């Protein structure tokens, strides 16, 4: 079984192995299994080994951080100085980032090793990783099934043991949903907890970076490094970052956990619901107090999200025009032809669909009817959560309505694809933290349970997840890989 982030950190500190040795092991594993899984867009072999040697020197000099020498992977929308940053799009296939995103800076400062950049839905738009210019990632548990999206490459890489941990982003569930589909742990922090500087934008009021790993303990270690104030991001919070690893282990005795009745209604697979109920029983045995709550505007989250997100993506993606950087069409006859063909040839179908819908929603005569109305509904969804948190500490439910579906099963039905995020989207609209952890299997595929916390209570989420993982071993299960 591949080692966890915590195990590698402790092993490096104890001198059981070097960063170069562990990095070579992961690079060899990537070379063996990535061709069949397609988790990575770019593998940075030489850079990884150079960083590993520097990490070993740093440890020898007594200047090591907990993550010094630990190999990690990064979603390919975090700008990385001197490394291709493509957003899984043809329009950025040749883009070499000239600077580091704040998240990359933080991991570099900690001495972590970058194995490569992971595959994703183009510009983070999708729930299956089928929208990538570089092809779909395969789910390591069953390669005929999707890994979830948009951070499917990061989730699958961790599940398959191609990296002990990875970064991702979550705009409407893009950390939590693939974590559920791939049987790993992933956390989306409170909006503003992690800097968006250098993170190529999809929807600016919704996007948030976070980590994937085997366990809550690992995620605590990674999030401590990712989080923190950054003056270059005007939406980044100045609130102090707790010591997340030190905050776990408190147990859940007396913790009040709410179960939204709307999350356990029509649309949820009955087998998956039974698995979640078993996990709830385990938390009850650990001393948590379970009670039903209501989030009455849950049904409005999908239409609200897809107006807000598409409007913001329409604005953000206007910068990709074939002039300043990225893909440019051949032999344009004039400036208008350059714009039209560069964008038409560079963007994939799902991205173009969302840009068109967003442009329509923002157009004169429709702004008030769509975008303004969506923002009003967004506030109602936020108010539902605040009312719930007046009586409970955490909220619990399924991460997804079903397990990972087959590749191609929903590509002709965008609405059905969008409904895969029914339980995750509302958190992004409200800006709340949430995480998914593995709690069982249905038909041989992992099931994820979602925990939702109040603002900046990532420590509470991680503690509850860790408490559950201390008495279960679902997060330790690994798929059998075939070349």
Degrees to nearest 5, angle at CA 314 with 308 and 318? 150
Report the distance separating Cα 451 and Cα 290, nearest Å.
13
Picking from 301, 275, 418, 350, the residue whose alpha carbon sits closest to that of residue 123 is 350
Q: Is 234 a residue of the active site?
A: no
SS3 string, 322-343, reads: CCCCCCCCCCCCCHHHHHHHHH
CA distances from 71 to 55, 68, 262, 359 (A): 10, 9, 40, 41
Report the distance separating Cα 17 and Cα 176, nearest Å.
32
Given the residues 150, 151, 167, 342, the one annotated as active site:
150
Report CA torsion sign: 151, 152, 153, 159: positive
Distance of CA 284 to the CA centre of its chain: 28
The CA radius of gyration of the chain, in Å to the nearest whole number, is: 21
Q: Is 75 a residue of the active site?
A: yes
Q: 138 near 34, Cβ under 8 Å?
A: no
Report the distance separating Cα 165 and Cα 161, nearest Å.
9
Distance of CA 205 to the CA centre of its chain: 16
Given the residues 128, 132, 154, 174, the one annotated as active site:
174
Q: Give the single-character DSSP code of 366.
A: T
Report CA torsion sign: 198, 79, 158, 260: positive
């087998």: which residue's tokens? 271
Report the distance separating Cα 223 and Cα 211, nearest Å.
6
Picking from 286, 294, 243, the residue whose alpha carbon sits closest to that of residue 464 is 286
Report the distance separating Cα 418 and Cα 81, nearest Å.
34
Q: Are strands 256-260 and 289-293 parallel, antiparallel or unpaired?
A: parallel
Q: What backbone phi and psi angles, to 5 degrees, belong to 398?
A: -70, 155
Given the residues 3, 18, 42, 75, the one annotated as active site:
75
Q: Is 215 a residue of the active site?
A: no
Q: Catalytic amino acids? A: 75, 150, 174
């Amino acid at each position: 079984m591949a080692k966890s982030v915590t195990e590698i950190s402790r092993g490096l500190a104890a001198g059981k192995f070097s960063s170069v040795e562990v990095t070579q092991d992961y690079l060899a594993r990537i070379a063996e299994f990535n061709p069949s899984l397609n988790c990575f867009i770019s593998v940075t072999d030489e850079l990884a080994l150079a960083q590993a040697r520097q990490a070993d020197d740093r440890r020898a000099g007594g200047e090591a951080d907990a993550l010094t020498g630990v190999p990690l992977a990064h979603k390919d929308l975090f700008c990385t100085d001197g490394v291709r940053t493509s957003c899984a799009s043809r329009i950025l296939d040749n883009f070499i980032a000239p600077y580091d995103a704040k998240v990359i800076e933080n991991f570099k400062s900690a001495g972590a090793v970058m194995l490569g950049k992971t595959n994703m839905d183009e510009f983070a738009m999708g729930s299956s990783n089928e929208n990538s210019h570089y092809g779909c990632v395969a789910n390591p548990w069953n390669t005929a099934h999707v890994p979830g999206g948009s951070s499917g490459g990061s989730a699958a890489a961790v599940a398959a043991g191609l990296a002990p941990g990875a970064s991702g982003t979550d705009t409407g569930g893009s950390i939590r949903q693939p974590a559920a589909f791939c049987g790993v742990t992933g956390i989306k922090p409170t909006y503003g907890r992690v800097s968006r500087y250098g993170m190529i934008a999809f929807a600016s009021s919704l996007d948030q970076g976070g980590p994937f790993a085997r366990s809550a303990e690992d995620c605590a270690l990674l999030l401590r490094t990712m989080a923190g104030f950054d003056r270059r991001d005007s939406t980044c919070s100045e609130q102090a970052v707790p010591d997340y690893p030190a905050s776990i282990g408190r147990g859940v005795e007396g913790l009040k956990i709410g179960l939204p009745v709307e999350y356990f209604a029509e649309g949820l697979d009955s087998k998956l619901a039974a698995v979640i109920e078993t996990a709830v029983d385990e938390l009850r045995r650990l001393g948590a107090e379970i009670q039903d709550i209501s989030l009455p505007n849950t049904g409005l989250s999908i239409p609200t999200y897809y107006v807000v997100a598409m409007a913001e993506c329409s604005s953000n993606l206007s910068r990709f025009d074939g002039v300043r950087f990225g893909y440019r069409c051949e032999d344009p006859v004039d400036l208008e032809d350059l714009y039209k063909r560069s964008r038409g040839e560079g963007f994939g179908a799902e991205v173009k669909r969302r840009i068109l819908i967003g442009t329509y929603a923002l157009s004169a005569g429709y702004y008030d009817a769509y975008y303004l109305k969506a923002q009003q509904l967004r506030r109602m969804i936020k108010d539902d959560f605040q009312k719930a948190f007046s009586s409970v500490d955490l909220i619990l439910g399924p991460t997804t309505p079903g397990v990972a579906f087959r590749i191609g099963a929903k590509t002709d039905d965008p609405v059905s694809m969008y409904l895969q995020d029914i339980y995750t989207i509302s958190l992004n609209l409200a800006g709340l933290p949430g995480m998914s952890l593995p709690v069982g299997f249905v038909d041989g595929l992992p099931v994820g349970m979602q925990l939702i916390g109040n603002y900046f209570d990532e420590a509470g989420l991680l503690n509850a997840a860790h408490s559950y993982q201390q008495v279960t071993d679902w997060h330790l299960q690994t798929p059998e890989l075939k070349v």
